[in-house]
Amino acid sequence: MSLLSPLVAELMESLRMLPGVGPKSAQRMALQLIERQRAGGLRLARALEQALNQVDHCQQCRFLTEQPVCKLCLDPSRDDSLLCVVESPMDVLALEQSGSFKGRYFVLLGKLSPLDGIGPDELGLPILINRLRQNPTIRELIIATNPTAEGEATAHYLREATRDLPLSVTRIAHGVPIGGELEYVDGNTLTHALSGRRSIG
C-alpha cells in the first residue's frame, strides 16, 4: 500500500514525463513544491497551462511562438540569403545563444525515421522545398541536423531534393571539439572530422 496520497502520487508521476527526471527527482520536486514552494508551484501551474494553450509553431519557420509569425522571422536585421534547417526548437536556441548565425531558420520538428512512420511530409519538407522555390533571395541552405543515422539520412534527402535549385547547400561540420584530445575522440567523430577537413593556407 502506498503511503502517498493519490494527488501527490499523480504529481510525481507527471513530473517523470520531463527528460532526465527519475523517481527520486520527481519525489523531491513534488514534495518541495507542496511543502515549501506552494506559491511557486501555483505560478508554475499557471505558466504551464498558458504555454500549453497558447504556444504553437510559427507559420514560416515552425519555431515556438504565441503569434502566427515568430520574432525571428519578423526581425528585419536578419540575413534573408541564409536558411538554416534544424531538427528542433532547442537547436534554434543553441545557435542563437552561440551568436554565430544571423540568418533565417526552418525547424523540422524531428528527423526522417521510416520505422517510426516519420517521412518527409511529417517533417514539413514539402513546405521547405516550396519556400526555397518561391524565395530566390535564399542563396545558401545550411543543413544543421544532428550527426546521427537519422540526421544524416535527413541531410541526404534534403541535398537530393534541392539539386535542381540555384542555391548552395552546405552541411555544418562535425568533428573534434575545441579543447578535445584525439586519443579520447570516438572513431565516427574522427571520420567526420577528417572528411570535413579544410585548407588553412
pTM, 2 dp: 0.84
Helix ranges restricted to H, the chain: 6-15, 23-35, 38-54, 71-74, 89-98, 125-134, 149-161, 187-195
Q: Look up cell 506559491; give the residue.
A: 39
Which structural domain range is residue 130 located in?
A: 64-195
With respect to residue 4, please indicate whether it lies within any of the assigned structural domains. no
| Cα distance between residue 194 and residue 10, in whole Å | 50
Q: What is the CATH number of the domain that holds 98?
A: 3.40.1360.10
pLDDT tens digits for 5-34? Answer: 999 999 999 999 999 999 999 999 999 999
**Does residue 1 carry a pLDDT above 60?**
no
Number of structural domains (the chain) is 1
- In three-state secondary structure terms, 106 is strand
Contact 148, 165 (CB under 8 A): no
Sign of the dihedral through C-alpha 80, 86, 91, 95: negative
How many Cα atoms occupy the beta-carbon half-sphere of 115 within 13 Å? 3
With respect to residue 31, please indicate whether it lies within any of the assigned structural domains. no
With respect to residue 159, please indicate whether it lies within any of the assigned structural domains. yes
- In three-state secondary structure terms, 55 is coil
With respect to residue 94, please indicate whether it lies within any of the assigned structural domains. yes
With respect to residue 73, please indicate whether it lies within any of the assigned structural domains. yes
Mean pLDDT in residue range 100-118: 92
With respect to residue 47, please indicate whether it lies within any of the assigned structural domains. no
